[in-house]
Structure 1
Amino acid sequence: MKVLVVEDDRKIKTETIDDCLASLGHESDWAQHQQEANGLLASNDYDLILLDLQIPSRAGGKDSPEFGKNLLRQIQERKGRGAVPVILMTAYHQQCVDMLTDLQEIGVDGSISKPFPAFGRTLAAVIEEVMTKHRRFRLTAAAGGAEESLLPFEGGVLAFHPHRIDLCGETIAEESRQGLAWGILQSLREKNRHGKPVHLGSRVLAGKLDPEPEQNTLIRAVGSLRSRITKIMRKQVGRTCKQNDVIDNDEQGYFLQDWIVVEVYDEVGTLTGQSSVKAEPGGTSAKPVLRLCEKQRWVLARLAAEGKVTRLEVEKEFGISIRTAKRVLGELSDAGLIGFDRSEHPGYYHLL
């Protein structure tokens, strides 16, 4: 079993926690602050998390129980509430009791005060108690027990890696696999120039995919992706996820639900972009990271020099199809970098 230990006190970690985990035969990683823990969670899977409530948010920062609480919330968003058991360790136990209602609502499986008791409810005993309860829950879910034994899906992190896409820590799409799931999710994570989530009709969404599918094929692919997500969330995360809990649709088209948090990672696992799908008040939510291709860099340079460019000019410059030119310009528009003016014919693009 692999354990993530989030503890800023080196002495407690090396002299007490390490001995306990070694005795139980468990491996562990160590994070001393909130940022370090999030980095490890992004690139590793853990069976248990031991979380000190009073931790710094970053290296060299002051510690606060609020940072531990924030990390707990991020763990549940990333992995799915209840997917990985969390035990709180704190010397500020009364403070923990005062926050107990909030902590239980976020999702905590057990707690233990420091210094750890040498007898009775020891750290080892709490770990065994929590893991036994968690295994029983997972077995019930895996055996197809009563639906009410599963927790409802409440959103989570949709992580875009270079070659795979994860939801709550479980892979739901891969670039190398046949099908349209990869392109559908990549398109739906975009935001428009106002920083709001895109709503893409089936025809528009199909036009963003390469090769472009028939509209009916696209609709069936979205249905298959929804079913796959529902199945994975139930079997791997222990969550009842309805068909529209992740990808919903209305009269304007398909879109990601408000409770989905988009994260983008590079080849080495570094977080390069993060945004909640839900726009912040005033339209100030972060835009997803757009890595400019050669054609998009040329468009921006041309606009900076001459003020406007048409789609036809982009097609001629690179010898590309109408569909490819639309995708190149559409990504820049959705990222809030350029706008389109229809007052002339043909219409033209300009910098925002």
Structure 2
Amino acid sequence: MKLSDFDFDLPEELIATRPVRPRPAARLLVAEGARITNRHVADLPDLLRPGDRLVLNNTRVIPAQLSGRRRRHSAQGVIEAGVDITLIAPLPEGTWRALARPLRKLQAGDVIHFSDRLQARVETRGPEDAVVRFALTGDAFDAALAEVGRMPLPPYIAGRRATDDRDLQDYQTVFARHAGAVAAPTASLHFDAPLLEALRARGIDMTEVTLHVGAGTFLPVKVDDIRDHRMHAEWGSVSAPAAAEINATRAAGGRVVPAGTTALRLIETAARDDGTLAEWTGETDIFITPGYRFRVTDALMTNFHLPKSTLMMLVAALMGPERIHKIYAHAIQERYRFFSYGDASLLIPQSDTDGR
């Protein structure tokens, strides 16, 4: 298929730069087979069935954007200049891959001072990013980063307004536990404690998995033939208890509903051909496009995605390309809010509308 098959025209004013409050007040487009209805996230307990299982990504977004001063010793003395860093992936022994602006000004050996507590040394510089080494690791690093770092908002938000203290809460799920993501699992931003309790009271189970979302989720697809695209890799983990819970739900006839494409990609990576899961940890670069056979996913809660993105291809694989274009046309006509801080959809393929 061609990249243009996943394009659509989106009015700029539909790009959300702030989330609605409270979180479950966001609108929810429900596409169940051929039918589309307009609801709210707060209605989710009535839209799912007792015995269904939501799969939640409990990754925690780190404040990965940093501004500092790089220092370099030369024969003329110390050269100093400003630099902006965005951490994108942890590497062994306190090193990180990082985007930098201006990248071309960095040299191996430069020391970047972000605060009195937090400094990093440039190990290498490549054509697209750099590797930096922090003097701190573990809890000390996390604490120092929290003092000076900013939330790494997606470019389509950061290009419209500055990051502020509200984003520290807004761009983090209420069940975030394991630090390591540089982008939020945005469908899960719609949940709050009362909604989670209402879902449990309804008999809807929940399982947590971890996928550390990387900055590559925002990288554009640059090839016309999507078969030539190579996905970025992201670290994830499905624990043995999580796998057992999902297997039990499927065995009992319940539906497995990932909250977000990150949770979906992880459980599809971990699933065997027969749809069962086992404990799994590693990096996934799974690329889901139309024609993919879903092994464990029965439905998906997700936000609305960018045109010509890999996530648009994923939802087209789940619902069918023609159907997903109709769903998005409805969302635009009804003025749904798009992307990370926008509204959500509940996508239930036709094959599942009558149950398993």
TM-score with structure 1 length normalisation?
A: 0.23
Bigger share in strand: 2
Larger RCO: Structure 1 or Structure 2 (Cα < 8 Å, ≥ 6 residues apart)?
A: 2
Q: Which has the higher helix share?
A: 1
